[in-house]
Amino acid sequence: MNLSALGRRLASESGTRTLMDDLGAVATVGSEIMNLGGGNPSRIPAAERVFEARMRALLEREGAFGQAVGSYDGPAGDREFARALAGLLRREQGWDVSERNIALTNGSQSAFLALFNLFAGPDAKGRMRRVLLPLSPEYIGYADLGLSPGLFVSRRSTITELGDGLFKYGVDFRALDDVEDIGAVCVSRPTNPTGNMVTDGEVARLGAFARDRGVPLIVDNAYGLPFPGIVFEDAVLAWEEGTILCMSLSKLGLPGLRVGIVVASEATISALSAVNAVFCLAPGSLGPAFATGLVESGEVIALGREVIRPHYEQRAARALGILRAGLDGYGVRFHRPEGAFFLWLWAPGLAVSSAELYRRLKARGVIVVSGQHFFPGLEDDDWPHKHECIRISYADEWERIERGLGIVVEEVRRARDGA
The pLDDT tens digits for 129-172 are 999 999 999 999 999 898 888 899 999 999 999 999 999 999 99
Q: Would you state the pLDDT for residue 388?
A: 97
Instruction: Tell me the DSSP string of 214-276.
Output: T-PEEEE-TT-TTTT--B-S-------TTEEEEEESTTTT-GGG--EEEE--HHHHHHHHHHH
Q: Would you state the pLDDT for residue 96?
A: 93
Q: Is the domain 3-47+303-412 a CATH 3.90.1150.10 member?
A: yes
pLDDT (mean) for 248-252:
96
Average pLDDT of every residue of the chain = 91
Could you tell me if 97 and 90 are in contact, meaning their C-beta atoms sit under 8 angstroms apart? yes
Domain 64-299: give its CATH code.
Answer: 3.40.640.10
Q: Could you tell me the pLDDT band of residue 23, with boundaries at 50, 70 and 90?
A: low
Three-state secondary-structure class, residue 315: helix
Q: Would you state the pLDDT for residue 240?
A: 84
pLDDT above 60: residue 10:
no
Q: Could you tell me the pLDDT band of residue 28, with boundaries at 50, 70 and 90?
A: very low
pLDDT (mean) for 325-354:
96
Domains of the chain, by residue range, sit at 3-47+303-412, 64-299
Pinpoint the alpha helices (H) of 328-381: 354-363
* Secondary structure tally for the chain: helices H, strands E: 13, 16
| Angstrom distance (rounded) from CA 282 to CA 104 | 9
pTM: 0.91
Q: Rounding to the nearest 10 degrees, give the CA dihedral for residues 59, 64, 70, 76.
A: -120
The pLDDT tens digits for 84-105 are 999 999 999 999 999 999 999 9
The pLDDT tens digits for 358-401 are 999 999 999 999 999 999 999 889 999 999 999 999 999 999 99
The pLDDT tens digits for 207-220 are 999 999 999 999 99
